[in-house]
């Protein structure tokens, strides 16, 4: 999964100290809205009205483990059952991590508004045009090394996504995005 792609995970969610109290819900991510967890239930208990949590664990319907960090309840409704909504600052897929400080990333990619326009690296070319056809060529640009700083290599990398099918297709789109990728040189 590409990190900025919108996604939705259906699954079960729980607090690390209450693994027996799994709550069904949906984790949604959209670049403009962030991470939102909608639950049919609540992490609140009768004796504890806590609304923020350092860590929430989940497992989606594909069996993938998910860890949410810095989770804050944004809404709670009761209509015969509790329905709660939480906002999460960080999402990690692939494991359950007890503390945010324990996570060591090998690499990460960051996208900035207008980075593509500022750097102007494009490999999309209109090769041929005539009355009946268009010929486009796209070659992904190679990474551009920016340098090394304090144990990290920094480079500009690209990703391209297209949207088309071969049957009955009337539209074709191709979008290239550039990212700053930071790689740790430590093992």
pLDDT cut 70: percent of the chain above it: 87
Tell me: do 18 and 67 sit in the same domain. yes
Q: At 71, list the tokens.
A: 């989770």
Tell me: do 16 and 85 sit in the same domain. yes
Tell me: do 93 and 177 sit in the same domain. no
Tokens 């007890």 -> residue = 98
Last-in-domain residue among 65, 81, 102: 102
List the strands of the sheet with 107-110, edge to edge: 107-110, 173-184, 152-163, 144-149
Tell me: do 96 and 71 sit in the same domain. yes
Tell me: do 127 and 53 sit in the same domain. no
State how far the Cα of 22 lies from the Cα of 25, in Å rounded to an integer: 10
Last-in-domain residue among 102, 120, 141: 102
- What's the pLDDT score for residue 1? 44
Last-in-domain residue among 46, 71, 102: 102
- What's the pLDDT score for residue 125? 67
Domain count, the chain: 2
Tell me: do 92 and 122 sit in the same domain. no
> Where are the extended beta strands (E) located within the chain?
7-14, 23-30, 34-39, 52-60, 65-78, 82-93, 107-110, 124-129, 134-138, 144-149, 152-163, 173-184
- What's the pLDDT score for residue 122? 65
Tell me: do 57 and 79 sit in the same domain. yes
Candidate from 1-15, 86-100, 111-125 with smallest mean pLDDT: 111-125
- Does 19 score more than 90 pLDDT? yes
Tell me: do 165 and 113 sit in the same domain. yes
Confidence of residue 27 (pLDDT cuts 50, 70, 90): very high
Q: What range defines the domain where residue 79 resides?
A: 7-102
Task: Give domain status of residue 135, yes or no.
Answer: yes
- What's the pLDDT score for residue 2? 44
Tell me: do 27 and 77 sit in the same domain. yes
- Does 9 score more than 80 pLDDT? yes
Beta carbons within 8 Å of 137's beta carbon, 6+ residues apart: 124, 125, 127
Tell me: do 17 and 89 sit in the same domain. yes
Tokens 């990398």 -> residue = 157
| For residues 118-123, average pLDDT | 71
CATH number where 59 lies: 2.40.10
Task: Give domain status of residue 2, yes or no.
Answer: no
């Amino acid at each position: 999964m590409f990190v900025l792609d919108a996604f939705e995970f259906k699954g079960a969610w729980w607090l690390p100290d209450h693994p027996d109290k799994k709550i069904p819900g949906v984790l949604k991510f959209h670049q403009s809205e962030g991470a939102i967890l909608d639950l049919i239930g609540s992490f609140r208990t009768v004796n504890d009205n806590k609304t923020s949590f350092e860590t929430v664990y989940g497992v989606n319907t594909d069996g993938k483990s998910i860890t949410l960090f810095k989770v804050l309840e944004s809404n709670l409704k009761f209509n015969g059952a509790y329905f709660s909504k939480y906002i999460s600052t960080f999402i990690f897929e692939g494991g359950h991590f007890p503390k945010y400080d324990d996570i060591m990333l090998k690499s990460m990619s960051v996208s900035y508004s207008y980075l593509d326009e500022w750097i102007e690296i494009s490999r999309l070319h209109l090769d041929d045009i005539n009355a009946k056809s268009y010929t486009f060529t796209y070659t992904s640009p190679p990474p551009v090394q920016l340098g090394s700083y304090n144990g990290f290599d920094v480079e500009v990398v690209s990703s391209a996504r297209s949207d088309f099918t071969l049957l009955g297709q009337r539209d074709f789109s191709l979008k290239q995005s550039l990212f700053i990728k930071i790689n740790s040189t430590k093992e």
